[in-house]
Copies of this chain bind each other. A is one copy, B any other.
Amino acid sequence: MDKLSHLDENGSVRMVDIGDKPVSRRVAVAEAVLVVGQEIMSAIEEGRTPKGNVYETARLAGIMAAKRTSELIPLTHQVPLDHVGIELESGADRIRIIATASTRAATGVEMEALAAASVAGLTLYDMLKALSKTMTLTGLRLLAKSGGRSGDYQSGALSQ
């Protein structure tokens, strides 16, 4: 039987006990991409659609969501974040969201980075949805993590 850390020997849900894990510096980077279409991106980049406050609202929403990850994802621990950063890159038909979370704690912050990227993406969607109903948030995944017992990880995409 494969072992899932969030299920105990009876298959019941559980919170992993991190009481024996030392506090260490941990960083996680996650990515998501909101595909909005070329027309909207042109409008944004040419200034016909305002960009600044759309992007800033998404950034703030992502940062605020990261701080509340333990309320959203049931079996995560409460982690005091040292930093949350949200970068937004405009592409031809898409906006790339890169979220970084870091802490000094006894558990990692992958879910915090993923939650930040996800909520930043949803907020971009909300801000732009008057223009299109066919936007899609795609490619939400972990790009890299460092610190902790399980060692460092880097996705192929990032290491290229």
Contact = CB atoms under 8 A, between A and B. Distances in A.
Nearest to A145: B133
A153 to B, nearest CB: 5
Q: How many copies does the complex hold?
A: 6
Nearest to A103: B19
**Is the interface on chain A under 10, 10 to 19, 20 to 34, or 35 or more residues?**
35 or more
A43 B84 contact: no
A50 B11 contact: yes
Interface in A50-68: 50, 52-57, 59-61, 63-65, 67-68
Interface of A: 1-7, 11-19, 25, 32, 43, 48-50, 52-57, 59-61, 63-65, 67-68, 70-85, 102, 104-106, 110-111, 114-115, 118-119, 121-123, 125-131, 133-142, 145, 153, 155
